[in-house]
Structure 1
Amino acid sequence: MQHVATTAGLFPLPDAQRERLADLKGRGKGDLIDGDESADVTAAYDAARERLVAVQREAGLDRVVEGQARWDDMLAHPLCVHEHVRPGRVVRYYENNNFYRQPVVEGPLTEDGDLAADLDVAARLTDDLQAVVPGPYSLTDLARDEHYGSFAAFLDGVADFLAGEVAAFPDAVETVFVLEPSLITTPPDDDAHERVRDAIDAVNDAIDADVVVHTYWGALGEKLHAYLLDTGVAALGYDLVTAHDECAYLVQEYGTADSVALGVIDGQNTRVETPETVGDRLTWFRDSVPVSDFETVYATPNTGLFYLPTGPFEAKLDALAAGVETVEVAE
């Protein structure tokens, strides 16, 4: 069993680039992306990416993400920059005091290579590259459909779009984190579980890399968890910050994939965990479930880190990497 220190991406902009981009655009971060960036804006985001990759490497993470500095609409970003999508009204992002432009899908969602382009650049900065994408169900949940005509057709269209994006990723990508918080916050009806499973499998089948489905803000429902176990993904994620007992119960009762991702750092609280806390959470999970000889345990923040100031963000990365080391030494 190996432990991999990594993250779910969605990082805060480094302070220097935040100020530079605000100056270039003359407005706050939430309005910086319009899909048609100037050379100066592109250069600022390139500098942000370089800094975010450097921070992860300095912390000693085992997998390094691109950082998603351009994702001002967070998980909705891949749609908001698509040619057949109109960024709509500003709406609240889940239950947080953050906002995004709701994408309104007005035409077919063809693959456009936006995510792959960022990863191509990141691949020149690190040898341990991990991609981050929104899950098909969450992206469907965050968007509004004015083209496909039904939830089923819309979900299938989003899944096909994401599969095309993922298939274009560079060979350097070792793992893909598929972020599915909507499976917790607004879970699908029981009769949609099979379609959600197939949508996730479509993304998984598009790339020859380990795919991790990471949910957060709670635990999956039992039936939905069982359906996700029927996918071909390498790992399922469990939020040990907000629902450790519930997540352990799911694994105790129903098992899990060959590998797991464990949310052991609070992505939305500025209080920085100690390495010992990280190690204790990893050890507690292993001791609480009947089968603990996983192929890989991905130790990660339970959510994206977009909400954090730069200081706590960097300190949490340090604590995460150091916490994984404490477990490895103990074993």
Structure 2
Amino acid sequence: MTEYVSTTPGLFPLPDWAKDDLSDLKGHQKHDLISGDEGEETTAAYETAREEVIDVQDDAGLDRIVEGQLRWDDMLAHPLAVNDAVETRGIVRYYDNNNFYREPVVQDELEASGDVAAELEATADLTDGDLQAVLPGPYSLADLATDEQYGDDAEFLAAIGEFLADEVDAFPDVETLFLLEPSLVESAPEDGEDERASEAIDQVARATDADVVVQPYWGALEEKVYAHLLDADIDAVGFDFVANQDDNLYNIQEYGATDSASLGLADGQSTLVEDAEAIRDRVDWVEDQLQVTEFETVYLTTNTETFYLPYNKFEEKLAVLAEAAELAEVKAA
């Protein structure tokens, strides 16, 4: 019988009070955080905000608890932006929207910093729930970065994969790892590069005993990219059914799927809060379309990070996802 698990891709919005406090702190500028140099007041504000978003997830009844990535001013580029081998330069548009990040320029051999592991350690101390780690996937992280060290796209992607694998190796015990890969959709790899992207993802996935979910979003993967992704040693592929239903269904029907799947059924960028029963009905619709396919685990999540949402809408979305998973479990039983 399928297990239904409510979760999120992380990258939460800051609580309203934290936005005000952090913007008022002397010397704090958006997109200008350097790991370990935030200052005591800024660090304390982020710690308090982390506690709050963990409590929100616990109160909502989510099956997987994430740290929230509230310090990630550079969004998915964060693990590089805080690394000693990287120089951050000018502001770059984050894909095709109104958010921005500092360009991470890799200038030396990459080594794991332990920054994300430290966040997870802090999270583990604040919840009894099952912990989920969140990282950019290697292809997206390489796509967002500039290479001045390795000199070759294939070597750079491999180095990013090794870097992330080393970061994962330092993690505390987690139940699930979400690798966020919007670039697989937004900047689809070409022939040869799609296979290398799968190999880099595989390298990261093999660094953990956790269930690994690769979550593309803002559309559907091209057929060859999807087929190569299935070769990686991962437990689930994510499908953005908000942005593109037909092509995601086609990929599953044509090429099969991993044993589990992550369904992006709630809109992570819309302030319209879905009804839990409507989300459950969307799960039914997907499963009906697939007919013979039955997943071991179905992760119910927003299709994108929820960074874009007002904080109260973010809270409501979490509660809806948790309730939808409970309804799906009841129906399955």
Which TM bucket (shorter chain)?
A: over 0.9
1:163 alignment counterpart: 165
- TM-score, normalisation: structure 2: 0.97
Deviations 1:250-275 (A, max 9, x none): 11111100000000110111111111
Q: Which runs of 5+ in 1 are unaligned?
A: none
Q: CA deviation at 1:32?
A: 4.7
TM-score by length of 1: 0.97
Q: Is the aligned partner of 1:133 residue 2:135? A: yes
Match in the other structure for 2:68: 67
> Is 1:8 aligned to residue 6 of structure 2?
no
Tell me, in whole angstroms, the C-alpha distance in 2 between the residues paired with 1:285 and 1:82.
41
The letter for the 2-side match of 1:134 is P
Could you tell me which amino acid in structure 2 is paired with residue 144 of structure 1?
Answer: T
Alignment of 1:239 with 2:222, yes or no, is no
Partner of 2:34: 34
Task: Write the deviation string for residues 48-69 of structure 1: whole angstroms up to 9, x where unpaired.
Answer: 1100100011111000100000
Deviation at 1:292, TM superposition (A): 3.1
Partners in 2 of 1:27 and 1:137 — Cα distance? 31
| Structure 2 unaligned spans of 5+ | none
Q: CA deviation at 1:27?
A: 5.3
**Residue number in structure 2 paired with 1:147:** 149
- For the pair 1:58 / 2:59, whether they are aligned, the reply is yes
Q: Distance in 2 between matches of 1:198 and 1:114?
A: 24
- 1:178-197 equivalent positions in 2, closer than 5 A: 178-197=179-198
Q: Confirm or deny: 8 A CA contact 1:75 1:134 kept in the other structure.
A: yes
Partners of 1:32 and 1:295 in 2: CA distance = 42
Question: Which residue matches 1:225?
Answer: 226
Instruction: Give deviations 1:150-209, integer Å, cap 9, x for gaps.
Output: 1111101111000000010002x1100000000000001112122111100000000111
1:73-88 mapped onto 2 (5 Å cutoff):
73-88=74-89
Change in 2 beyond 3 A, CA 1:244/1:25: farther
Bigger drift between 113-122 and 267-276 goes to 267-276
Distance 1:245 1:2 in 2: 24
C-alpha displacement of 1:17: 1.6
Amino acid at match of 2:175: E
Deviation per CA, 1:270-293: give whole Å up to 9, x if none: 111111221111111111114332
What is the total number of aligned residue pairs between the two structures?
329
Verify the 8 A CA contact 1:22 1:32 in the aligned structure 2.
no
Matched with 1:204 is 205
Native 8 Å contact 2:31 2:101 kept in 1: no
4+ aligned runs moved over 3 Å, structure 1: 25-28
Identity of aligned pairs, percent? Answer: 55
Q: Distance in 2 between matches of 1:166 and 1:282?
A: 31
Q: In 1, distance between residues paired with 2:71 and 2:161?
A: 22
Contact 1:10–1:304, Cα closer than 8 Å, also in 2: yes
1:18 CA displacement: 1.6
Pairing of 1:264-303 with structure 2 (within 5 A): 264-303=265-304
Q: Secondary structure at the match of 2:284?
A: helix
Q: CA deviation at 1:97?
A: 0.7
Q: CA deviation at 1:326?
A: 1.9
